[in-house]
Structure 1
Amino acid sequence: MKRKKHIAVVHCAGGARLNEGIDRASLPKDCSQIMEQYPDGILSCSYGCLGGGSCVAACRLHALSINEKGVAEVDRGICVGCGLCVKACPKHLIRLEALEGTIQPKCSNEQKAAEAGKACTSSCIGCKICEKYCPSDAIHVIGFHAVIDREKCIACGMCATKCPRGVIHDADGIFAAK
């Protein structure tokens, strides 16, 4: 039996603001150091990517970068699913998922809707619209954010097109996030 190819997926879209008095340019280039120096956090969303680049440094293939929102981003054409970035992320925002799993919720926030909405413009607010429109019952809101059952997902993109906050992304770019 052939083993399925996996790829790293970052579960944060990066809509959180930096806390007052924080300058991204002066932050360490290591997420664990950021967490040590700023125990109260640097972002309005305590679940978000710190953007320190620990995952980038861990990736030997240069498949990760920090985007303009200060969030780790995976190049699907380069990533081989080795898992080094997963181990390097102290916030556990990066997971290995099957390459075929193109529909990806990009939020790990576990706050209730009102708090999540204030903390991040890209947060899941647990509205369950994705659940309502999923024809295969593959997506559910668990812990106040959307989670996909990969065994059930048929990658139809209904959840991605209906999500009012643009939290659910299609890695192939077929279904545009709002």
Structure 2
Amino acid sequence: MESSIMILVILALVGLGFGFILAVASKKLAVKTNPLIHIVEEILPKGQCGACGYAGCAAYAEAVVLNPEVSPSLCVPGKEPVAKSVAELTGKEPAKIEPRIAHVRCAGEKGKATLSFIYTGMQECTAANLVKGGPKGCKYGCMGFGTCVKACPFGALSIGENGLPVVNSKICTGCGACETACPKHVIQMLPLDAHIKVNCNSKDKGAVVRKLCTTACIGCGLCAKNCSYGAITIEGNLAIVDNKICEEKCSESTCLAKCPTGAIEARS
């Protein structure tokens, strides 16, 4: 009995000893955190979208406070108000942030785009894309399983009744998380002031794409020929818009009238 008590006492003393040593070591080896990092982090929108190039808001806050080379204007969702606040706290000069919004480059909704097969697997775009490039006839189009919706940290996307993602312009911050998540690269970020948008992502030739989707860009070039400022080119059978030229020079949007499929339209 006495030996058992002695063992318990010894174990208790050893435990207390180790606890004391760990407490002293923790205090001696503790890394002091700059309190400004937490202040900056509180200003950020907490979307953890990674648009700044860092693994979340905390990582960016630490980088912008401790590294003089890191710009205070990297938080795309926070836009200019956040950039200005971070700049004031860190003593840096803010750069201009161009507001942008997500755009779904596909109008191939149900009834307008053909299917190659019926997909019954996991309802997720990346998974579906592994099966022969997805069920849609057009292998460049949106599959509509909502991977982009799940990836949006601000809840700005939803799947509409037509089976395609819908962007809530009032909520979208242009962070680009949905753009990164889309395996088809259907989503792109457009300047908020962009006049027009191309609702297609197909690189197929016109004769092929006509059979797959009635609203696709067929690469005919009529929009480019009717653009007075050379803001539109045809690359890989697809109309590409130089938004900078379009915003600065054009107010007529003459390109819209000649598109035979309606693949190019005014951005509302």
Asked if structure 2 preserves the Cα contact closer than 8 Å seen for 1:101 and 1:155, the reply is: no
Give the corresponding residue for 1:124: 217
Counterpart of 2:262 in structure 1 is: 166
Aligned to 2:99: 5
How far residue 161 of structure 1 moved from its aligned partner, in angstroms, is 2.7
Taking structure 1 as the reference length, what is the TM-score of the superposition? 0.87
Aligned length: 168
Name the CA shift for 1:78/1:138 in 2 (closer, same or farther; >3 Å).
same
Gaps in structure 2 of 5+ consecutive residues? 1-94
1:139 positional shift: 0.7
d(CA) in 2 for partners of 1:80, 1:171: 17
User: What residue in structure 1 maps to residue 154 of structure 2?
Assistant: 61
Which AA in structure 1 matches 2:256? A
Decide whether aligned partners of structure 1 residues 61 and 155 sit closer, same or farther in structure 2, where only a CA change above 3 A counts: farther
Name whichever structure is richer in strand by fraction: 1
Matches within 5 A, 1:74-85: 74-85=167-178
Rounded to whole Å, the distance in 2 between the matches of 1:143 and 1:114 is 14
Q: Once the two structures are superposed, what CA deviation does each residue of 1:3-32 show, in whole Å capped at 9, x if it has no partner?
A: 110111111111322224x16xx4533101
Matches within 5 A, 1:35-114: 35-36=129-130, 38-114=131-207
Letter in 2 for 1:167: A
3-state SS of paired residue (1:9): strand
Identify the structure with bigger relative contact order (alpha carbons < 8 Å, sequence gap 6+): 1
Instruction: State the partner residue of 2:114.
Output: 17
Q: Which has the higher helix share?
A: 2
**Which of 213, 227, 242 is residue 149 of structure 1 equivalent to?**
242
Give the 3 Å change call, closer, same or farther, for CA 159–28 of structure 1 in structure 2.
Answer: farther
Give the 4+ runs in structure 1 shifted more than 6 A. none
> CA separation in 2, counterparts of 1:53 and 1:108?
17
Give the direction of change, closer, same or farther, for the CA distance of 1:87–1:155 in structure 2 (3 Å limit). Answer: farther
Deviating more after overlay: 46-55 vs 70-79 = 70-79
Q: CA deviation at 1:33?
A: 1.2
- Give 5+ residue unaligned stretches, structure 1: 173-178
Q: Distance in 2 between matches of 1:29 and 1:156?
A: 42
When residues 19 and 69 of structure 1 are mapped into structure 2, their CA distance, relative to the original with a 3 A threshold, is farther
One-letter amino acid matched to 1:159: C
Q: Percent identity, aligned pairs only?
A: 40
* Cα shift at 1:155: 5.0
Contact 1:28–1:52 (CA under 8 A) maintained in structure 2: no
Q: TM-score, normalised by structure 2?
A: 0.59
1:27·1:52 contact (CA, 8 Å) conserved in 2? no
Over 3 Å counting, the alpha-carbon distance change for 1:160 and 1:76 in structure 2 is farther
CA distance in 2, matches of 1:10, 1:161: 21
**Structure with greater Cα Rg:** 2
Which residue does the alignment assign to 1:32? 126
